[in-house]
Amino acid sequence: MKSFAFVFPGQGSQAVGMLDGWSDHPAVVQTLQEASDALGEDVGRLIHEGPKEQLALTTNTQPVMLVAGVAAWRVWQAEGGALPAAVAGHSLGEYSALVAAGVLTLAQAAPLVRLRAAAMQEAVPVGTGAMAAILGLDATKVIAGCAEVTGAMAQNGTEVVEAVNFNDPAQTVIAGTKAAVEKACEVLKAAGAKRALPLPVSAPFHSSLMKPAAEKLRVALAATALATPQIPVLNNIDVAVQQDADAIRDALYRQAFGPVRWVECVQALKGRGISHIIECGPGKVLAGLVKRIDAELVGAAVYDMNTLTATKELLA
């Protein structure tokens, strides 16, 4: 069998009806019930019926994406899928990876993720922060451009823009205060970026502006018992595999206000001898990034029964 890793998507891949492709698989029904019990609401109805605007609220998006990733993982296991050599998750997806690896239960992770989302939303008032995707420019130039803008606006003292998601070699997401992000988009286009696309998000995720949210998350993590990983979990913030519970907590804390180093994560998985990277959960965003990061790697996605069957055949 080919060596493979499972990776879990984060915010942005949500869609109304995203679990419908599993029909009423017992593993999905059980996952939805666990999450609903943990959060005190009908998570299945929210995912199945929406509306889209409700699903897009950060405080809902983060828990439902956790649930959708875990549901896909549990179906994979129930249908006799082999264990991956490692797991990872993009941003919020790291929580799904930790559930898959047995570090957190879903009942622990769902309230944690909701708290994380609420704290992030409270940290920066809606409309004062922003994010944008910078396309077609080397990441080092994006970092330099953000530093230039932050430095130039430093007399204001409150304006900041940072590179926060390194998604593929030609796509870096920036985040910060609205004025600084807008200025950075101008500067980076002048520096050669093909496009600078504002993102429809409610907060500047993974920027230093999220530090107050991270502090609230740190308190909750300290009170959460973590088990030893049963599968290696590669984290976003250090591109490292940790076994120690305190080290895992610290990485999750810093991840809330630090960059998602996804390009390096995929390269590190390859470095562990992995040839196939399988996205587990709604959408195909991460599977699409695989080839753009390293053409030698194979990317695929598991989001319904058909793709699960096809992936098992691909890995055989």
Angle at CA 62, nearest 5°, toward 21 and 207? 135
Q: How many CB atoms lie within 10 A of CB 138?
A: 15
90, 206, 207, 276: the active-site residue: 206
Distance, C-alpha 164 to centroid of its chain: 12
48 is catalytic: no
Q: Alpha-carbon distance 11 to 149, whole Å?
A: 27
Alpha-helical runs (H) found in 84-203: 93-100, 106-123, 139-152, 178-190
91 is catalytic: yes
91, 96, 202, 207: the active-site residue: 91
Are residues 293 and 263 in contact, defined by beta-carbon separation less than 8 angstroms?
A: yes
Are residues 257 and 211 in contact, defined by beta-carbon separation less than 8 angstroms?
A: yes
Q: What is the dihedral of CA 110, 308, 233, 225, to 10 degrees?
A: 30
> Which position has the token pair 């250090």?
238
Are residues 132 and 149 in contact, defined by beta-carbon separation less than 8 angstroms?
A: no
Question: Which residues form the catalytic set?
Answer: 91, 206
